[in-house]
Amino acid sequence: MTDSDVSTSAADRLFPALHPRPGRGWVNDPNGLAHIDGRWHVFFQWNPRAAHSERIHWGHLSSPDLLTWTNHPAALQPRDGRPDSFGCWTGCVVDDGGTPTAVYSGVVDGSGHSEVLLARSDRQLVDWQQQDRSVLPMPDPDRFSDSRDPFVLHHGGHRWAVLGGGHRDGDPAVLVYRVDDLTDWQPAGTLVDTSDPIAASVAGCNIWECPNLVPVDGRWVLILSLMGSNETVSNGVGASTGINAHENRVRYLVGDLEVTDDLQLRFRPQRGGLLDSGPAFYAPQAVVAGDRTMLWGWSWELREQAAADAAGWAGSLTLPRELALRDGQLVSRPAAELSALIGPALGVADRLITDHAFLIRFAGPGSLAVDGEPVLELDGPAEVWVDGSVVEAYPVSGTPFTTRGYPQAGWTVTGPADLFVLGEERTG
């Protein structure tokens, strides 16, 4: 962060202090999550020049402990005359034989077409060399109007990459490639599409974005962000804001992976549901680190663009969440390390709260309001993290719920709850 960034963010009571991000500019999808040589690296879509999406870079944060964060210079930047001239869009980072490598979508215009590009770095993941030529052109443009967001995984003795896609007037699909050599993408068919009845019922839409395929507790979980969906799915957790359910646009499928005799990879879903039931959550990315599978998401703004423009920033990443399966359902909770942020007791509910960041532990049904307007209602015990304008609720039984609130006067908590101060900003 520059000095001007620090002064800008410190003066803005809506700016998140515990959700690290640059002090200015637009932030969206988390990218390239990696845990390399004991350090966490979080990249993200970033426009450093304005509070809207344009000529997207990859921003970069790193931490040894998920508590103390360092802001680094942009890792990837759009380049005139190259396949990423319009932006360096979502992708992943893999440790390719000791060389950290970004695998990302390069775009040259706003059509939705993209190509897969590589960038190589040193072990600090700070200095990057973006390659000039793509390793995969836009696949099957007759079938897909949109395709992007490569994600790489290992299974069955091979390395694979999945790619989200679909047609704005058609159906979604996840394509898969065998990429034992990251410069040689061998088509391996369609991982899954809506010909599968479970995928169709859980994640019906036009385009699947940001596919993540990760192991969780001995099963495979496919995470999908839905574009153009008119489907509704009950969140089943008793958390609501009056927002239509079709705005809850991130779904998961739990199932099995199989490698066919001709080296095609197929995903067989068995069940699925909502990953987050709030109106301000999209495009998450997961990373496997040892025996943990961690996830960050994008919390977008719920205020007018003019307000974001005036503030000079928009968007936040969520808290890091640890994924697990419980009775076949995917659940997530804040990373255990974040308990170190919990400070002294702030008091009890039923009063105006003006603190910048605080934790609410509901013992039963309760609610949160900002300036008298309801933001969150819960029908049972839950933990709610409030940081500037970002609100993340974690019911004891149910799905996380991410939303936003923009206090002028303050927050009001009702119901049986204990409140705690949350630690000061630890980003530099």
Structure tokens at 55: 């000529």
Has residue 12 been placed in a domain? no
| For residue 48, pLDDT beyond 50 | yes
Q: Are residues 79 and 187 in the same domain?
A: yes
36/26 Cα distance (integer angstroms): 26
By CB neighbour count within 10 A (0-12 exposed, 13-18 middle, 19+ buried), where does 339 fall? Answer: exposed
Same domain, 352 and 211: no
Helix ranges (H only) for 52-206 are: 197-203
Give the pLDDT score at 424. Answer: 58
Count Cα atoms within 13 angstroms, Cβ side, for 239: 29
Cβ 412 vs Cβ 401: under 8 Å: no
Q: What is the pLDDT of residue 347?
A: 76
Residues 59 and 194 in one domain: yes
270 CB-contact burial (10 Å; exposed 0-12 / middle 13-18 / buried 19+):
exposed
Smallest CA-to-CA distance from 398 within 414, 382, 413 is with 382
User: Any bridge partners for residue 107, and if so which?
Assistant: 87
Does residue 83 form part of some domain? yes
**Pair 216, 67 in one domain:** yes
Q: How many residues does the chain have?
A: 428
Q: At 154, which CATH number?
A: 2.115.10.20
Q: Is residue 14 situated within a structural domain?
A: no
Q: Which of 43-47, 102-106, 107-111, 314-318 has the lowest mean pLDDT?
A: 107-111
Please state, in angstroms and as integers, the Cα–Cα distance from residue 327 to each residue in 140, 250, 324, 366, 395, following that order. Answer: 39, 20, 10, 26, 16
Instruction: Give tens-digit pLDDT for 405-424.
Output: 999 999 999 999 999 999 85
For tokens 């003019």, name the residue: 306
Residue ending a domain, choose from 337, 372, 396 = 337
Residue whose token pair is 């705005």: 247
N-term to C-term CA, the chain = 6
Q: Mark whether 304 and 412 lie in a shared domain.
A: no
Mean pLDDT (the chain) is 92
> Do 292 and 145 sit in the same domain of this protein?
yes
Query: What is the gyration radius of the CA atoms in the chain, in angstroms?
Result: 21
CA dist., res. 174 & res. 148, Å (int) = 10
Return the residue matching tokens 């995917």: 330
Predicted confidence (pLDDT) at residue 202 exceeds the cutoff of 50: yes
Indicate whether 233 and 362 sit together in one domain: no
Average pLDDT estimate for 60-85: 97
Q: Are residues 274 and 301 in the same domain?
A: yes
Structure tokens at 294: 């961690």
Would you say residue 282 lies in a domain?
A: yes
For residues 161 and 269, membership in a common domain is answered with: yes
Residues 6+ apart with CB under 8 A from 423: 18, 67, 340, 341, 342, 343, 357
Per-residue pLDDT tens digits for 256-299? 999 999 999 999 999 999 999 999 999 999 999 999 999 999 99
Please state the rounded mean pLDDT for residues 88-99. Answer: 98
Helix/strand/coil for 384: strand
Write out pLDDT tens, residues 158-199: 999 999 999 999 999 999 999 999 999 999 999 999 999 999
Domain's final residue, options 337, 358, 380: 337
Q: Does 292 share its domain with 177?
A: yes
Residue 63 lies in a domain: yes
**23 vs 314: CA distance, rounded Å:** 10
277 with 392, same domain: the answer is: no
Share of the chain above pLDDT 70, in %: 92
Question: What distance in Å separates the CA atoms of residue 137 and residue 113, rounded to the nearest whole number?
Answer: 9
Of 108-117, 195-204, 335-344, 382-391, which gets the smallest average pLDDT?
A: 108-117
What residues make up the domain containing 390?
341-422
- Answer yes or no: is 11 within a domain: no
pLDDT of the residue at 242: 30
Choose the final residue of a domain: 280, 310, 337.
337
Determine, yes or no, domain membership for 96: yes
Q: What would the mean pLDDT of 104-118 be, rounded to a whole number?
A: 92
In a domain, 146, yes or no: yes
Q: At 410, which CATH number?
A: 2.60.120.560
- Least confident interval from 7-16, 107-116, 168-177, 372-381: 7-16
Angstrom distance (rounded) from CA 341 to CA 320: 13
pTM: 0.93
Count of domains forming the chain: 2
Specify the DSSP class assigned to residue 137: P
| Same domain as 88, residue 169 | yes
C-alpha span between 427 and 42 (Å, rounded) = 13
